[in-house]
Every structure is written in C-alpha cells, then in structure tokens.
Amino acid sequence: MAADDLTARDLMMAAADLTAPQTWYPSARAMRRRVVYHCGPTNSGKTHNALASFSAAKSGVYCSPLRLLAMEIFDKVNATGVSCSLRTGQEVKEVAFASHLACTIEMVSTEEIYEVAVVDEVQMMADPVRGSAWTRALLGLRAEEIHLCGDDSVLSVIRKICADTGDDLLVHQYERFKPLVVEENTLRGYFQNIRSGDWVVAFSRKKIFEIKLAIETYTHHKCCVIYGALPPETRRQQAELFNQEHNEYDVLVATDAVGMGLNLNIRRVVFYTLIKYDGEKTASVPASLVKQIAGRAGRRGSAYPHGLATTFKYDLCYLTRCLEEPLEEAEKVGLFPTFEQLEMFASQFPELTFNNLLNKLCDTCRIDDTYFICQHDNMKKVADMLEGVHGLSLKSRYGFCL
C-alpha cells in the first residue's frame, strides 16, 4: 500500500472516530456540573420540582420533548413573573430582558451558559430517531446544575455517562400521586360511550378528523383537535379550550403530539388504536409510549385527579400489559455526529453528495458501547430534496436536515 493511501485511510479513520463523545464538549467538561435526576413514573411531580429550581435560578433553560409542552412551560413561567423566552423549530418569542428560555430539546444551545438547565423526558435518549438530541444536551449543556426528569429506564446509562463526564449525580426517586386505573371494558366500538374529559388518541390526521366527526354526529360532545402539523397558535388555543371547564368542548381528539409531559384536564385516555404507522411499517405502540400517553389522565391539580385508561374496541389486554409491565432498561442511547465531525469526514470525500457522506460516515464510524447512531431517514429525505440546490454550504445542508 502506498504511503499516500495510508495517510488518507488514517485521516478517514480519525474522522470516523465517534468514540468518547464526552470529549466533544470541552466547555462543558471545564465545568463541574451537578446533575439531579428526578426519576419516576408519570404524574409524580418530577417536572414540578425541577421547575422550582429553574424558576429560582438567575438564568435557566428548560428543554422539552414537544413544542406544545415548551409553550406550556413558557406560559406558566412567565405567569409567575419570571421572564422567559420561547424557542421551537416553529416559533421564537423573545421576551425583553428574559433570563430564562423554554425550548424544544433540538434547539438548545451548548454555547450559552445557564445556572440551571432542565431536560425533560430524559428517557427519550434511547429513542431510535430523536435520542441524540437528549444525549447532546446531557453531554454538552453549560449549566452549573442540570435537572433531568424521566423514568428509570435510562438510569444505569446516565450513571455511566456522568462517570465519564465527571459530573456529580444525585438521584431522587418518585411515586405516582394517584394510581392510573385501566377500565374493565373498552368503549365496545360505540362513540356513544364517550364521556366528558375523554382524550381519544389516534395516530393520523385523517383518523383524528373522522373520529371528531363521528363524536359530534353521534353525541352531544364537541371536540378539540390537536396534531403535529397544526400551527402553534391553533394548538395552544385548542389545548386552552379543552382545559377550560364549563364549555361544550369537553372531548379531546389528538395524536401523541400531546403525549408527553403536558398537563391537560383529561379524565380518561381512550386509545382508538394501539397500532401506529412509523413511516415504513405498522407496529404496536411501544409500552413506554403507551405509559406516557396514558399518564396524561388524572393529573394532580386538574379537574380530574383520578386517571382512567381504556381502548375504543380492541387491544385492552395489550394496554393492561403495557401499563403493568416494568419498563425495559435501555442499554444504549442515541448519538449523532456533530457538524464539525461531518465536515472533517467530508474533507476526505469531496466528491460525495451530502446524503452519501452521511451514509458513509454512519456506516464506517466507531462508537462506544453506550451509544447507537440515530436513524436519520428524514434527514436523508431532506438531503435528497436539497441535492438539486447548488451553492449551499455543507453547514447549511446539515442545518436544514437536522
């Protein structure tokens, strides 16, 4: 092998080395951070306690898994007199002189310095698609104190990561305020069995509107509707309308866009189906997501502090099993190369398209046992669409695809 080939190969191997990701964030490593893990089931007060530290701090960032939840926290925190801005992929609201920020996890900066950061639903680190956003936050946040809220499925991995980063870790265990009860029967396929305070969960916009139409045709209830593609303001209005007591809009029909962390006036969660299409195939909704969604019923402080769950017609046994089963412990969490790593790799393959570059890096990279590379099919779709756009820098392509 020629010496030049050897050098090129060495450079490629160096660029594809994604081991020790804790070293990717030297500014965070220069700090001694205190990590507090609020660990427990849904509706147990984890976020409430983390937010108390957030609000009391001189500066803070709250990282949400969902846009609607970022908005809920933005509204809640501002209402208590703490100036807080909002940043999601869809909207930015700058509040003058705000010391605090509520954002979706993908939007959080690893440059800015905060006294307190809150990372909500941290078990999402193990999500095959979005997990890397939580991992990046945990590894890279520049905050003296980081509050993680989540279930115990990632506790061992978080212990390991904190040992790697050298951060102090304190774990607080929580219990659910009130048990969640699975009803003995389904709705037997009749919309007439819908009651005030029900959230009917479906996983496509088409189904959402079919269900709304059926409920409003066969019953006296009116439905609020929420799904991912709705504009932010409409979603907020629909959530508020449903939360207001004493109006006729007393049933929510929504996708899992409201499935995590949110505090709505839900008495009973009714799964229209427990099968979800993931863009390629249909599969049973994973137990961890079922627990999250069902956990929206019976929130403390809501109009219905006793939560119920059932299904529309089928899958009641599956629902019961999901809620009874202990969570599966995650062995690995998501990771994705940073722009700088991709850029270094790209310098070895100037002829490759962005898509092929991503594929090659993800196929050849080396990573530690604690991590997996997140699926990036959506990124690839966007990269394909941008292929014909000339003159875009690598950085812009990476930014658009994220």
Nearer to ligand ATP, 133 or 401 (CB): 133
Q: Indicate the residue type of 41.
A: P
Distance between CA atoms of residues 287 and 251, nearest Å: 24
Nearest to 227 by CA among 210, 215, 247: 210
Nearer to ligand ATP, 29 or 300 (CB): 300
Nearer to ligand ATP, 295 or 334 (CB): 295
- Least distance from ligand ATP to the Cβ atom of residue 339, Å: 31
H-helix segments, 166-263: 205-218, 232-243
Residue 273 contacts ligand ATP per CB under 6 A: no
Nearest to 149 by CA among 177, 187, 118: 118
Nearer to ligand ATP, 328 or 384 (CB): 328
Q: Which of 22, 33, 36, 43 is in the footprint of ligand ATP by CB under 6 A? A: 43
- Least distance from ligand ATP to the Cβ atom of residue 291, Å: 9
Q: Which of 33, 46, 212, 268 is in the footprint of ligand ATP by CB under 6 A? A: 46
User: Which region among 36-44, 93-101, 127-135, 154-162 touches ligand ATP (by CB under 6 A)?
Assistant: 36-44
Residue 279 contacts ligand ATP per CB under 6 A: no
Residues 6+ apart with CB under 8 A from 248: 220, 221, 222
Residue 238 contacts ligand ATP per CB under 6 A: no
Within a 10 A sphere around the Cβ of 242, how many other Cβ atoms?
Answer: 25
> Residue 200 is encoded by which pair of tokens?
């009917």
> Residue 139 is encoded by which pair of tokens?
């590894």
| CA–centroid distance for 300 within its chain | 22
User: Which region among 279-287, 298-306, 323-331, 346-354 touches ligand ATP (by CB under 6 A)?
Assistant: 298-306
Nearer to ligand ATP, 44 or 243 (CB): 44
Residue 299 contacts ligand ATP per CB under 6 A: yes
Residue 265 contacts ligand ATP per CB under 6 A: no
Nearer to ligand ATP, 78 or 375 (CB): 78
Cross-strand pairs, 199: 252, 269
Q: Which of 29, 205, 300, 380 is in the footprint of ligand ATP by CB under 6 A? A: 300
Nearest to 291 by CA among 42, 39, 38, 40: 42
Distance between CA atoms of residues 146 and 137, nearest Å: 10
What are the percentages of helix, strand and coil residues in the chain, rounded to 5? 40, 20, 40
- Least distance from ligand ATP to the Cβ atom of residue 139, Å: 22
Residue 22 contacts ligand ATP per CB under 6 A: no
- Least distance from ligand ATP to the Cβ atom of residue 148, Å: 11
Within a 10 A sphere around the Cβ of 265, how many other Cβ atoms?
Answer: 20
> Residue 328 is encoded by which pair of tokens?
């599966």
Residue 29 contacts ligand ATP per CB under 6 A: no
Footprint of ligand ATP on residues 47-86 (CB under 6 A)? 47-48
Nearer to ligand ATP, 53 or 193 (CB): 53
Q: Which of 11, 31, 34, 45 is in the footprint of ligand ATP by CB under 6 A? A: 45
User: Which region among 37-45, 93-101, 232-240, 362-370 touches ligand ATP (by CB under 6 A)?
Assistant: 37-45
Residues 6+ apart with CB under 8 A from 96: 83
Residues 6+ apart with CB under 8 A from 270: 187, 194, 198, 199, 200, 201, 309, 310, 311, 312
- Least distance from ligand ATP to the Cβ atom of residue 150, Å: 7
Q: Which of 140, 295, 298, 307 is in the footprint of ligand ATP by CB under 6 A? A: 295
Buried b (16+ CB within 10 A) or exposed e, 13-35: eebbebeebbebbeebbebebeb
Residue 261 contacts ligand ATP per CB under 6 A: yes
Residue 172 contacts ligand ATP per CB under 6 A: no
Footprint of ligand ATP on residues 116-145 (CB under 6 A)? none
> Residue 113 is encoded by which pair of tokens?
């310095």
Residue 149 contacts ligand ATP per CB under 6 A: yes
3-state secondary structure of 181: strand
Q: Which residues contact ligand ATP by CB under 6 A?
A: 42-48, 149, 261, 263, 295, 299-301
